[in-house]
Amino acid sequence: MFMRSFSLQPLRVQALGLVLPAALALAAPANADIITSHGISTFGELKYEAGFPHLDYVNPDAPKGGEISVWGFGSFDSMHPYTTKGRSGQLSSIFFESLLEGTADEPDSVYGLVAESLEYPEDRSHVIFNMRPEARFSDGSPLTADDVVFSYEILRDKGLPSFRAVIQKQVESAEALGPHRVKFTFKEGEPTRDLPQTVGGLPIFSKAYYEASGADFEASTLTPGLGSGPYVLDSLEVGQQIVYRRNPDYWGKDLPINKGRHNFDRIRIEYFADYNSAFEGFKAGTYTYRTEASSKIWATGYDFPAVQNGWAKKDTPPDGTLASGQSFVFNLRRDKFQDKRVRQAIGMMFNFEWSNKTLFYGIYERIDSFWENSYLKAEGAPTEGELAFLRPLADKLPEGVLDGPVVMAPASSERQLDRKNLRRASAMLDEAGWPVGDDGMRRNAAGETLQVEILNDSQAFDRVINPYIENLRALGVDAVHTRIDNAQMTERERSFNFDMVVGNFRTALTPGSELEQYFGSESAEFSIFNLAGFGSEAVDSLIDSVTAAEDRTTLDDATRALDRVLRAEVFWVPQWFKNTHTVAYYDMYRYPENLPPYALGTLDFWWFDQAAHDKLKAAGAF
């Protein structure tokens, strides 16, 4: 019915908060020890050779022009996405580029963007980036190695806490070797497979801007920092609207990696207080492109005049990306959730099968894996490849991981309250020390009820959460559904002041050090990505194995072993996904015939059809 995700495909892969997917190269060595290349791929050869004319999935002749407008949820009070203070505006990282750029048709490759080439030894203990001397910030000032070093240092010292912890652990130093040549040296003993991509994916800020303005990087601000990307800020109205404008003087517009991309003159974001009002805005033509996350609206709502007249259309392009890991997340910092049986019992009361039939019009599938919709999903009993990683950790693993089938989400009947699951969950809570009292509520030995509050900032989620609350209360759980606004949600998530929330665990097809931010013990108390506050020695060891893997087979086995253990820990109640995009838009946008597997690319390589727009306008669509 509803996917809790409002952002569109980002224009650029940013490695802040979530470290870039791994990627590293093959190229002719400049000498016996140093590899020099135009890009880098974690395992195997790059798809695109040096001098490639354009990416295969773009239309290199796509026209420039027009506007695309989308919607944003709630409000914003900042245009600085790299601090925990304030709520940043949608797409507010759009201004900043990085040395390397990912593609949408390779899971583990990146290519030079601000960097023309990179040099690294076979052990990847350091990397040198040779930057394009023509690179400029949007005010025309040169982008140099000093800006790259400054950006690394300010992110290391003042960036998001979880990101700081990872990069401080991995990078020994960054130094400018010349105006357009910068070197990163990595710490000895750290897996280096992904580190050239990690530092190559950092957003680049203007050192001169911060020195001249005196801006505090840790403070919330409505004045965005100076970047070098293809878009600049055109206008904003706090809580109402943001407009980004394509920079006609963008320094990189003629690069082969940018050909056929960044086609819209303007990207406009209209903010709405809730999902239903946003849909009404789309019906009225207030904005023109919408990713539909409500199955009810998708099934029943698109009968308004713009659709009936053929002005707006529904579309379902295939989606080969990983599922988002959307789930109800337990806050393991709460004592009541320390016993896994409590978490299992609570999870059994969410009835996906009933929800999918009754609320979602049958369009979703259940998430079981942290790598759902991919070949990295663990299935059945562990393979020998997985056991090679699991057996040494036998005394640290949850029961059943070594010799049982992988944990799957609980199945239910198509009745809202599944009596079989209710009996099983009741027995678990009895065993865990939460028996039912005379009033039907479960209490521990201290007489405290088993209180569970599910926080929610979306009206569209009410009809999902309310039946779940009813089922929990039938179990004797003192469950409540608390509606708050999105600013309160941001504050409570960041301060970890919640029992359960809807969150996402976004993994990668070539997972790397971002795993530490979601699942690492060191991040459990402070990472805004590790909402659950989860950590275990076994998982830490498996993360190390994943990040140290030197070939794809080893990486895949280690990742499936990690998936198996994470699922056995039961710190989530997984929700749902689908393998198609459900989008609607006024029929003046076009995209290439052969979309890449890993991105829809709406704001990246779609384009505006001026003749179709003019026809719609003449017909009265706007």
Where residue 564 sits, what CATH number does that domain have? 3.10.105.10
Residue 462 within any structural domain of the chain:
yes
Residue 410 within any structural domain of the chain:
yes
Per-residue pLDDT, 147: 98
For the chain, the distance separating the N- and C-terminal CA atoms, rounded to the nearest angstrom, is: 29
H or E element, residue 48: none
Query: Distance between CA 543 and CA 524 in Å, rounded?
Result: 14
Reported as a pLDDT band with limits 50, 70 and 90, residue 19 is very low
Beta bridge partners of 267: 68, 244
User: Amino acid letter at 11?
Assistant: L
Measured at the CA of 453, the angle between CA 449 and CA 457, to 5 degrees, comes to 170
Query: Which phi and psi (to 5°) does residue 523 adopt?
Result: -95, -5
H or E element, residue 153: helix 145-158
Provide the residue count of the chain. Answer: 622
SS3 77: coil
SS3 462: helix
Per-residue pLDDT, 455: 97
- The per-residue pLDDT of the chain, averaged, comes to 92
Per-residue pLDDT, 525: 84
**320 or 603: which carries more pLDDT confidence?**
603
Reported as a pLDDT band with limits 50, 70 and 90, residue 439 is very high
User: Amino acid letter at 248?
Assistant: P
Beta bridge partners of 268: 69, 243
Task: Answer for the pair 289, 585: CB distance below 8 angstroms, yes or no.
Answer: yes
**2 or 295: which carries more pLDDT confidence?**
295
Q: What is the pLDDT of residues 550-596, one digit of tens each?
A: 899 999 999 999 999 999 999 999 999 999 999 999 999 999 999 99
Per-residue pLDDT, 397: 98
For residue 100, what are its two tokens? 């390397």
Percent with pLDDT over 70 in the chain: 95
Per-residue pLDDT, 161: 81
Q: Is the pLDDT of residue 180 over 90?
A: yes
Residue 263 within any structural domain of the chain:
no
Q: What is the pLDDT of residues 110-126, one digit of tens each?
A: 999 999 999 999 999 99
Reported as a pLDDT band with limits 50, 70 and 90, residue 523 is confident
Per-residue pLDDT, 26: 35
Total structural domains within the chain: 1
Q: Which domain holds residue 560?
A: 327-357+389-577
Query: Which phi and psi (to 5°) does residue 273 adopt?
Result: -70, -30
Residue 260 within any structural domain of the chain:
no
Q: Is the pLDDT of residue 470 over 70?
A: yes
Q: Is the pLDDT of residue 25 over 90?
A: no
Query: Distance between CA 145 and CA 130 in Å, rounded?
Result: 9
Residue 502 within any structural domain of the chain:
yes
C-alpha distances out from residue 216 to 13, 128, 157, 208, Å: 24, 29, 12, 13
Residue 570 within any structural domain of the chain:
yes
Q: Is the pLDDT of residue 13 over 50?
A: no
Reported as a pLDDT band with limits 50, 70 and 90, residue 197 is very high
Residue 535 within any structural domain of the chain:
yes
Taking the model in full, what pTM does it have? 0.80
Query: Distance between CA 299 and CA 297 in Å, rounded?
Result: 5
Tell me what the mean pLDDT of segment 231-253 comes to. Answer: 97
Residue 262 within any structural domain of the chain:
no
Tell me whether strands 100-102 and 478-483 are parallel, antiparallel or unpaired.
unpaired
Reported as a pLDDT band with limits 50, 70 and 90, residue 265 is very high
Q: Is the pLDDT of residue 5 over 70?
A: no
Q: Is the pLDDT of residue 367 over 90?
A: yes
Per-residue pLDDT, 144: 98
Q: How many CA atoms lie within 13 A of 426 on its CB side?
A: 15
Task: Answer for the pair 472, 346: CB distance below 8 angstroms, yes or no.
Answer: yes
Tell me what the mean pLDDT of segment 77-103 comes to. Answer: 95
Task: Answer for the pair 599, 322: CB distance below 8 angstroms, yes or no.
Answer: no
Query: Distance between CA 322 and CA 167 in Å, rounded?
Result: 25
Per-residue pLDDT, 166: 80
Task: Answer for the pair 356, 545: CB distance below 8 angstroms, yes or no.
Answer: no
Per-residue pLDDT, 3: 43
Query: Distance between CA 430 and CA 380 in Å, rounded?
Result: 30
Query: Distance between CA 282 and CA 275 in Å, rounded?
Result: 11
Measured at the CA of 131, the angle between CA 38 and CA 79, to 5 degrees, comes to 110
Query: Distance between CA 504 and CA 145 in Å, rounded?
Result: 35
Q: What is the DSSP string of 207-236?
A: HHHHHHH---TTS--SSPPP--SSEEEEEE
Per-residue pLDDT, 514: 87
Reported as a pLDDT band with limits 50, 70 and 90, residue 43 is confident
Closest to 74 in 3D by CA, of 82, 86, 65? 86
Closest to 209 in 3D by CA, of 268, 144, 164, 260? 144
User: Amino acid letter at 332?
Assistant: L
C-alpha distances out from residue 387 to 383, 403, 541, 551, Å: 6, 10, 14, 17
Residues in Cβ contact with 42 at an 8 Å cutoff, skipping those fewer than 6 apart = 22, 23, 24, 108, 109, 193, 194, 197, 510, 555
